[in-house]
Amino acid sequence: MTIQQSVHHAVEKLYGQSVEASLVQLQKTKKEFRGHLTLVVFPLLKISKKNPEQTASEIGEFLQKNEPSIADFNVIKGFLNLSVSSSYWIDVLNVINKQKIFGTQKADENAPLVMIEYSSPNTNKPLHLGHIRNNLLGFSLAEIMKANGYRVVKTNIVNDRGIHICKSMLAWKKWGNGATPTSTGKKGDHLIGDFYVLFDKEYKKELQKLQSEGLTKEDAEIQSSLMVEAREMLRRWEAGDLETVALWEKMNSWVYAGFDETYKALGVDFDKIYYESQTYLEGKEKVLDGLKKGIFYKKEDGSVWADLTADGLDNKLLLRGDGTSVYMTQDIGTAKLRFDDYPIDKMIYVVGNEQNYHFQVLSLLLDKLGFEFGKGLVHFSYGMVELPEGKMKSREGTVVDADDLIEEMIETARETSCELGKLDGCTEDEARKVSRIVGLGALKYFILKVDPRKNMVFNPKESIDFNGNTGPFIQYTYARIQSVLRKAGEQGIVLPDSPDRSLQLNEKEENLIRMLSEFPPVVKEAAETFSPSVIANYVYDLVKEYNQFYHDYSILREENKNLKDFRLILSVNVGKIIKIGFGLLGIDVPDRM
């Protein structure tokens, strides 16, 4: 901003005319050229009435003479490359050093309120790898929005009703023999997930038998006694049948206890949890109200539909003929309740891209029902996560279980750390703690560094590597910085409040300060684009630059005391930004490794 203002001043003094802010275009100098900032002079030629090289040279000479922060300049065609003085960079570092939480801002009571929905599990199965990406993206996005001065409500909608839940309930009732988490030694969500898989297995057997008797696949599905029983169970649940509801409550309580364990292990949480069993009636009420007003229509079988053909879409089912609701109905009810509960300024749904159409329809339906917030809903649509072996399928029991993956990551982190000597000298408690931090850091970083809109392949082996663009590489650099600072303390070094401004910095030192100064706009960009990957890759680039500096220049062995102090202060702030950046991703950093 200082240099931008100086350019405005230079143009006025040199050419006697003020310049619009949009015409002063400063950008980072390309790596192949000398300088820190580049001014594009072409937009200024109408004012200077001179050729690009002359205009650039005149502005450069004026800035070098009148702006203390400009040490040198060079001109390449219509581009003025400005080299910023060491004293300027030291002043920038001083500003960063004096701010404990640099690059973020706190929300005041009048800040916009953003509600972010993520997780959205079904109570018929445990959380899996796909849920991990969802939870990590949602939690990180919430932290990033907070860091940009928004008030944030983290919310979860639990899919605790519907035909899929009844499948697990029916399977437990038929073949469970009274199994409980206690009697089996299994987490409740895993136990119920097993019965969901069992239902599908028995259902397929029944279909094969019916088809072998001459029925078509479609007729077999209609005549399936298992599916008839499941649908009847759903009808009884919605009718409030005491026995059905009691079984539903018991089995769901097992699942919730299991979910809570997984959320705690992942380090994610929620401010408010909604349950579809409590929101679907609100949705049905709004749909029936829309039917009365002629917004929706009813078919002969009693089902209620929305005609969206005028909006370029198709007809959408909202209530089945038997009166039971669908996901869309539930989402309408949930949206209504949320906006009743909170003065929400922005609602963000963190849901996979296979639901793009669903949220396009939801936004339209809410708008048609008269909700002002309908058109403003944001679907944070992210890509699918797969394993090197391919897609996962819940019904077939081929998903990668979240709990198993978390434990595997921690165990692999410990084995890898031991092999590389990273845990040498650690007590058992320290080794366990570091292994958990590194294992979870590897998992979270590998997922969050990818542009969320893209599909990705998660490779556990690649994620735990102490070299390259990985969580452990960044965590190890942070631990290395803390080790240097501890040694400085042991040597009795007391750092000054600010570095010596007369020092001449090398290119790597200037680059590191420049990168630190870019953290606030990176945090802002991550919020504007709903992309934690912006922060992840910034932190990696910063760490890469610091490691090159650490390799090329001495810190504690530097003989010039002022330069040693400067490099220690620089290291303190690199560590600080790594910790803040990783905190926005929900990743811890270890002090020792």
The model's pLDDT over 315-331, given as tens digits with 9 standing for 90+, comes to 999 998 887 788 899 99
Distance (Å, rounded) from C-alpha 157 to C-alpha 121?
Answer: 7
Share of the chain above pLDDT 90, in %: 74
Distance (Å, rounded) from C-alpha 1 to C-alpha 5?
Answer: 6
**pLDDT (0 to 100) of residue 389:** 65
Q: Considering only residues 370 and 449, tell me which one the structure prediction assigns the higher pLDDT.
A: 449
Q: State pLDDT tens for residues 265-314.
A: 999 999 999 999 999 889 999 999 999 999 999 999 999 999 999 999 99
Contact 78, 42 (CB under 8 A): yes
Residue of 448, 362, 356, 443 lying closest to 405 (CA atoms): 443
Q: What is the mean pLDDT of residues 335-347?
A: 93
Distance (Å, rounded) from C-alpha 423 to C-alpha 431?
Answer: 6
For residue 381, the one-letter residue type is S
Residue 205, Cβ density class (10 Å: 0-12 exposed, 13-18 middle, ≥19 buried):
exposed
Q: State pLDDT tens for residues 109-120.
A: 999 999 999 999
Q: At a CB cut-off of 8 Å and minimum separation 6, what does 426 contact?
A: 434, 592
Whether the full predicted model's pTM is greater than 0.75, yes or no, is yes
Q: In the chain, what are the helix, strand and coil shares in percent, each to the nearest 5?
A: 60, 10, 30
Structure tokens at 149: 């001065």
**pLDDT (0 to 100) of residue 486:** 96
Bridge-based pairing of strands 151-158 and 272-275 is parallel
Distance (Å, rounded) from C-alpha 458 to C-alpha 396?
Answer: 20
**pLDDT (0 to 100) of residue 386:** 82
| Residues pairing with 275 in the sheet | 158
Q: What is the mean pLDDT of residues 19-34?
A: 87
Contact 280, 286 (CB under 8 A): no
Q: Which of 43-52, 54-63, 274-283, 384-393 has the lowest mean pLDDT?
A: 384-393
The residue written with tokens 């953003």 in the block is 114
Q: Is the dihedral of CA 435, 441, 443, 446 positive or negative?
A: negative
Sheet of strand 70-76, all strands in order from the earlier edge strand to the far edge: 25-28, 37-40, 79-84, 70-76
Which uninterrupted H or E stretch holds 156? strand 151-158
Q: Is the dihedral of CA 137, 139, 144, 148 positive or negative?
A: positive
Asked if pLDDT for residue 379 goes beyond 60, the answer is: yes
**pLDDT (0 to 100) of residue 590:** 93
Asked if pLDDT for residue 397 goes beyond 70, the answer is: no
Asked if pLDDT for residue 396 goes beyond 60, the answer is: no
Number of other residues whose CB lies within 10 A of the CB of residue 271: 13
Which uninterrupted H or E stretch holds 129? helix 129-147
Question: What mean pLDDT value characterizes the chain?
Answer: 92
Q: What is the mean pLDDT of residues 483-489?
A: 96
Asked if pLDDT for residue 394 goes beyond 70, the answer is: no
**Rounded to whole angstroms, what are the CA distances from 389 to 400, 408, 452?**
11, 17, 21
Asked if pLDDT for residue 68 goes beyond 90, the answer is: no
Q: What angle do CA 102, 512, 530 make, to 5 degrees?
A: 50
Distance (Å, rounded) from C-alpha 505 to C-alpha 94?
Answer: 14
For residue 550, the one-letter residue type is Y
Question: Rounded to 5 degrees, what are φ and ψ at 293?
Answer: -85, 0
Structure tokens at 66: 């009148």
Share of the chain above pLDDT 70, in %: 98
Map out the domains of the chain with their CATH numbers. 2-84 (3.30.1360.70), 118-386 (3.40.50.620), 402-584 (1.10.730.10)
Q: Which of 226-235, 331-340, 385-394, 458-467 has the lowest mean pLDDT?
A: 385-394
Contact 165, 124 (CB under 8 A): yes
**pLDDT (0 to 100) of residue 391:** 47
pLDDT band at 393 (very low <50, low <70, confident <90, very high): very low
Q: What is the mean pLDDT of residues 215-234?
A: 92
Q: Is the dihedral of CA 169, 174, 178, 180 positive or negative?
A: negative
Q: What is the mean pLDDT of residues 533-543?
A: 98
Distance (Å, rounded) from C-alpha 326 to C-alpha 320?
Answer: 7
